[in-house]
Amino acid sequence: MSADPLTDPELKARIDTADFVEILSADAEGSFYADVTAYLDAWKTQIKSYQDAGLSRGEFDDLSRLSTSLQTTGCVLEFFVKLQKLHLEKAHEN
């Protein structure tokens, strides 16, 4: 994964083409979970920076792009919640 999860084409491709049911049952080592966590944390950081700084004209365009990207990753958010729950359940079993 590249330094910036938001611009990592390999991670985006993995998320866009993921069979989430298969991943939920097969991601025992948590690697995809860690990648998705980094991706979503990067989104949260970027959104927070917009909230903290206010919006200039150029930033509005970035926010529009961000909003579009978030809409297309809505399934990732749903998947992330399920995967996080699965990992918590596994942690309680151990």
Question: pLDDT digit string (tens) for 4-50?
Answer: 666 777 776 766 666 655 665 555 566 777 777 777 777 777 777 76
Higher pLDDT, 52 or 1: 52
Which residues 6+ apart lie within 8 Å of 24 measured at CB? 79, 82, 83, 86
> Can you give the pLDDT at residue 91?
67
**Residues 6 or more apart whose Cβ sits within 8 Å of residue 70:** 43
The residue among 66 and 9 whose pLDDT is bigger is: 9
> Is the whole-model pTM more than 0.85?
no
